[in-house]
Amino acid sequence: MGPNLKRNYFISVVIPAYNESCRITRTLDLIYAYFTDHLWQFEIIVVDDGSTDNTKNVLETIQNRLPLIKYFSYPSANHGKGHAVRKGIEAAAGEIILISDADLSTPIEEIEKLLVYFDQGYDLIIGSRGLKNSDIRVRQPLFRVAMGKMFNRIVRLMILEDFRDTQCGFKLFSGTCARKLFKQATIDRFAFDVEILFLAKRQGYKIKEVPIIWLNSPESKVHPVKDSLQMLTDIIRLYLRTLRA
């Protein structure tokens, strides 16, 4: 970490979780140890998005062992990643809010790359797999790579031409920025990232895309057909909003 970076941030880490009982313990142990070692004030907020496995019981056990972890769950059906993140943001108290995926595809240490730009006055810093210096150490299957590229082209053509990767699950916000944007957001599922970036750009927030390390997890929760169609529908709706903006 650079010598000019502050170390007295209060950081909230928001993690959406759906059927993550097998890997959430390792993820939370790594994040907790990292922030404890850096002597930062922090909280970790896990939102259990209607899991049907043992995720809730696993989180209860972890919470008893690691007191700075909070979790929220709702017994109703899965509402979507965007909905879960929004609930986590509502509960977050941090000066900085980091969104991280439950599989920790981006190692928690990569937050230091994002904090460099937070210190420079950026409101929203997004991890990216699509930049020249991005370090993709474990790649997705080819069909998912192709789907991702197609989605990105649609997004860049219709809504956001500025960003190479809107969907990486590692994003850092100023707390004020995050709470304002997610209060306005309406997309509940995987296209929520695009809506947040659209809102942030329209409202003049300072945004930076940063190359990160990324390792694909084979247990992706994105259904290649159903979720792709939902994302496309949400993007079309968002595009129609841009015409009225």
Write the pLDDT tens digit of every residue in 39-78.
889 999 999 999 999 999 999 999 999 999 999 887 778 8
More confident residue, 99 or 227: 99
Domain assignment present for 152:
no
In one letter, which amino acid is 162? D
**Cα-atom radius of gyration of the chain, to the nearest Å?**
17
In one letter, which amino acid is 53? D
> pLDDT band at residue 190, thresholds of 50, 70 and 90?
confident
pTM score over 0.85: yes
Domain assignment present for 232:
no
Domain assignment present for 37:
yes
Tokens of 68: 């700075």
CATH code, domain carrying 135: 3.90.550.10
Domain assignment present for 229:
no
Which pLDDT score, from 0 to 100, does residue 35 have?
A: 95
**Whole-number Cα distances in Å, 244 to 189, 203, 216:** 22, 15, 37
Mean pLDDT of the residues in the chain = 88
More confident residue, 173 or 146: 173
Domain assignment present for 5:
no
Tokens of 101: 């995926």
Mean pLDDT for the stretch of residues 127-155: 80
Domain assignment present for 230:
no
Q: Do 224 and 144 form a contact (C-beta atoms < 8 A)?
A: yes
Quick one: which H or E segment has residue 172? Answer: strand 171-174
Task: Please state, for a pLDDT cut of 70, what percent of the chain lies above it.
Answer: 90
Q: Do 108 and 37 form a contact (C-beta atoms < 8 A)?
A: no
Region of poorest pLDDT, from 16-25, 38-47, 146-155, 218-227: 218-227
CA 237 to chain centre: 22
Beta-strand relationship, 41-48 and 207-211: unpaired
Q: How many CB atoms lie within 10 A of CB 194?
A: 26
Domain assignment present for 85:
yes
Tokens of 76: 């109703």
Which pLDDT score, from 0 to 100, does residue 207 have?
A: 98
For residues 102-119, b (16+ Cβ closer than 10 Å) or e, as one string?
Answer: bbbbbbbebbebbbbbbe
Which pLDDT score, from 0 to 100, does residue 161 have?
A: 84
DSSP codes joined into one string, 82-146: HHHHHHHHHH---SEEEE--TT-SS-GGGHHHHHHHHHTT-SEEEEESSSTT-EEEEPPPHHHHH
**pLDDT, tens digit, for every residue of 158-182?**
888 889 999 999 999 999 999 999 9
207 three-state secondary structure: strand
**pLDDT, tens digit, for every residue of 66-125?**
999 999 887 778 899 999 999 999 999 999 999 999 999 999 999 999 999 999 999 999
**Whole-number Cα distances in Å, 16 to 37, 39, 134, 169, 206:** 24, 24, 24, 10, 25
Q: For the chain, what is the domain count? A: 1
Mean pLDDT for the stretch of residues 218-231: 69
Which pLDDT score, from 0 to 100, does residue 1 have?
A: 43
Q: Is the pLDDT of residue 2 over 50?
A: no
Domain assignment present for 79:
yes
Residue 132 has what DSSP assignment? T
CA 164, CA 76: separation in Å to the nearest integer? 35
Give the residue numbers spanning the domain of 17: 10-140+165-218
Tokens of 118: 């937070």
**Whole-number Cα distances in Å, 118 to 31, 171, 192, 210:** 20, 11, 22, 11
**Whole-number Cα distances in Å, 230 to 75, 97, 196, 222:** 23, 27, 17, 11
Q: Is the pLDDT of residue 7 over 70?
A: no
